[in-house]
Amino acid sequence: MKRLKLFIGAAALAAVALTASPVAFAQENGNRDENGKVVRGPYETNRFGDNWFIGASGGVNFFMNEGYKTKVGPSLDVSVGKWFTPTIGMRVGYSGLSANSWSDTPSVLGSVFDTGEDMYLQKFGYMYIHGDFLWNMTNAIGGYKETRVWNMIPYVNAGYFRSYGLDDVDFYNNELALGAGMLHNFRITERLAVILDTKTVVVNGRVHGADGVAILPSATLGLAVNLGWPGFLRTSTVLAAVETATAGEIAALEAAAVALEAANVALAQDNAKLQKQNANLNKQMTAMQKEEVVLEKAADLSGFSPATVYFSIGKTVLAPDEMQHLDYIAKHILAKVNEQGKVYITVMGSADSNTGGQKRNQALSAARGKYIADMLTGKYGIPADRLVVKSEVVKATADPQLERAVVFTF
């Protein structure tokens, strides 16, 4: 009995030590309000299919009873459960495999004498079908947080305990049992967690053919899988805040509503003004488009006759009298063309073939055209992108002087 008390005391100290860590660990960001206080609810009721979980784990058990020496045995836990709130849940589970102990006397569960231990090994199979009431202490103290890594969950259980003989031994017994435990849940992903389950089951000693009360502590390690939606939504507190508002706060809200209505009226008036301005701008744009059409029509210069300036034989610059001629053309004809629209002005430089060779004449015609184009852009400000410069060598004519020229066409 002293050994049993020592074991229970050690287990209690371990539970207290483990409890301290998750309580501190629970104080994480994401579960506090704007003032830094832990928020513990309320939470919306989840749907039936949400917050389910299944778990499976394996480990060891220690069967203890007065007059028997403890021996380790294998243990298996399988369970399915549901969380109704972040702190309250239930599960149904199976625990079992086999339990072992040493006895000074033989029994139907063990009659072979072990000389090393100087005792008889007692061995039997068992299964414990139980329902557990779960309380998530970490969420209750530190506030719910879906992404928390470690949750500590104490629970109590009750159920049906059946023991039976192994290796064709004719033995069985059925009893009611009670227990308590601590479930440690270590989150890996939203759907998967590692679980460490430590519990103790108390049952009548008749389960192994003895008197007194038998105690079966166990520890198992395994995995749990979350089914359905695994989270919780906090209930909105806006309505409660309005219901508990003071008279001054209500008056302030009403004043704010009146101010908002006035602002809406002002915005509507501004919107009407802007719509009127927009209509005026549309009218102006339509008028400008009509003017552009008129200008495009005015740019039809088909009635203009070509204008010409003449060069002396072998020259690529104009004589003074022809410079005056070019000045008149640029100021009174080409400037008017430039104002009326995008009209290309073709500058045709030419040379006659009566004098000089073909190559020489070609160079003269190109140089004359470039000379006139440079004068038009540099001196008279006509944009270069409206000039098309060409050159040619004119075949011999009756009056070659008329072919040593630059002709402007539109």
pLDDT digits (tens, 9 = 90+) for 231-286: 888 776 544 444 556 777 888 888 899 899 889 998 998 888 888 888 888 888 88
DSSP H or E stretch at residue 144: none
Which phi and psi (to 5°) does residue 71 adopt?
-140, 145
**Residues of CATH 3.30.1330.60 domain(s) within the chain?**
307-409
pLDDT at res. 26 = 36
Q: Among 132-136, 220-224, 352-356, which is the least confidently predicted range?
A: 352-356
DSSP 344-359: -EEEEEEEESSSS-HH
In angstroms, rounded to a whole number, what is the distance separating the alpha carbons of residues 285 and 62?
A: 94
Contact residues for 297 (Cβ-Cβ < 8 A; gap 6+): none
Write down the mean pLDDT value for the chain: 81
The CATH architecture of the domain made up of 307-409 is 2-Layer Sandwich (3.30)
| CATH among 1.10.10.10, 1.20.120.160, 2.40.160.20, 1.10.274.10 for 2-239 | 2.40.160.20
In angstroms, rounded to a whole number, what is the distance separating the alpha carbons of residues 104 and 299?
A: 126
Per residue in 241-262, is it b (16+ CB within 10 Å) or e — as a string?
Answer: eeeeeeeeeeeeeeeeeeeeee
Q: What angle do CA 189, 193, 197 make, to 5 degrees?
A: 165
Q: How many CA atoms lie within 13 A of 370 on its CB side?
A: 7
Residue in the structure block whose two tokens are 């402007």: 408
Which amino acid, 230? P
pLDDT at res. 239 = 47
pTM listed for this prediction = 0.52
pLDDT digits (tens, 9 = 90+) for 16-53: 444 444 433 433 445 666 666 777 767 777 788 899 99
Q: Which of 150, 173, 145 is nearest to 160 (CA)?
A: 173
**Contact call for residues 232 and 44 (beta carbons, < 8 A):** yes
Q: How many CA atoms lie within 13 A of 36 on its CB side?
A: 0
DSSP 33-87: -TTSPBP---BPPPPTTSSEEEEEEEEEEE-B-TTEEEEEEEEEEEEEEEESSSS
In angstroms, rounded to a whole number, what is the distance separating the alpha carbons of residues 235 and 230?
A: 17
The strand pair at 387-394 and 345-352 is best described as parallel
Residue 398's Cα: distance from chain center in Å?
A: 87
**Contact call for residues 376 and 339 (beta carbons, < 8 A):** no
Q: Which of 153, 160, 155 is nearest to 130 (CA)?
A: 160
If 0-12 CB within 10 Å is exposed, 13-18 middle and 19+ buried, where does residue 98 land? Answer: middle
pLDDT digits (tens, 9 = 90+) for 88-111: 999 999 999 999 999 988 988 888
pLDDT digits (tens, 9 = 90+) for 209-246: 888 999 999 999 999 999 988 888 877 654 444 455 67
pLDDT at res. 410 = 67
pLDDT digits (tens, 9 = 90+) for 148-193: 999 999 999 999 999 999 988 999 999 999 999 999 999 999 999 9
